[in-house]
Amino acid sequence: MTTSCTLVGIAGASGSGKTTLAQGLKAGLEAANGPQSVLLLGEDAYYRDQSHLSPATRERQNYDDPAALDHALLVSQLRQLASGQPVLQPIYDYRQHTRAAETRRLQPAPLVLLEGLFVLTVPALRDTLSLRLYVDTPADLCLLRRLRRDIRQRGRTAESVLAQYESSVRPGFLTHVAPSRRHAEAVIDGSQGHDSMIATGWAALSRALPSYTKGD
């Protein structure tokens, strides 16, 4: 695929620190290259709309399988961004498991950071990337982080989070996410402190894409 931008993918388990790493790298890249130089995309914005299902049925769906996301749309929008075109990104409601009627208009940028569970799992998605990073974090720490996030940000109960972890999150990680680690060009230790993890990611970025980390 011919591109006018560089795509960097960040994968790892739920709660591994993918988003934290992506946000830290984005801040550093913007400091080096300017505020319009980086676009951060979350793969989970592309979960399929479940509005045709009853609320009870939605809760029983497996959201830890690549088929739960519209990767064809994501790949298509990455190609649009790479060719210099803006895209209309879906807005996903985690509480209702539905897409909002509104969309988010995203402008292309010289560098795109894409973070998500299956960024290195899906071949068509993986093949768009210039650099592939994987955040490797112990399972107990991932679960603690997921509990805090889902209770505070998504209105979940501890019981529902733990039930989902046992029924689909852990099996999905073992089946789809963990094996994708082998596709990474750099593995980041997600159990490090915030600053150390971002510094490790920055070092990997600097080795692979030095023109983006040196600034003007």
Q: What is the pLDDT along the chain (216 residues), one digit of tens a residue?
A: 444 789 999 999 999 999 999 999 999 999 999 999 999 999 999 999 999 999 999 988 999 999 999 999 999 999 999 999 999 999 999 889 999 999 999 999 999 999 999 999 999 999 999 999 999 999 999 999 999 988 988 888 999 899 999 999 999 999 999 999 999 999 999 999 999 999 999 999 999 999 998 865
**Residues 72, 50: Cα–Cα separation, whole Å:** 17
* Distance separating alpha carbons of residues 159 and 151, to the nearest angstrom: 10
* Count of residues in the chain: 216
Domain coordinates in residue numbering, the chain: 6-208
Pick from 21, 42, 198, 25: nearest CA to 111: 25
Total-model pTM: 0.93
Sign of the alpha-carbon dihedral angle for 38, 109, 44, 116: negative
Half-sphere exposure of 8 (CA within 13 A, CB side): 27
- 6-208 classified as CATH 3.20.20.100: no
CA pair distance 101, 115, nearest whole angstrom: 24
Determine what percent of the chain falls in helix, strand and coil, rounding each to the nearest 5: 50, 20, 30
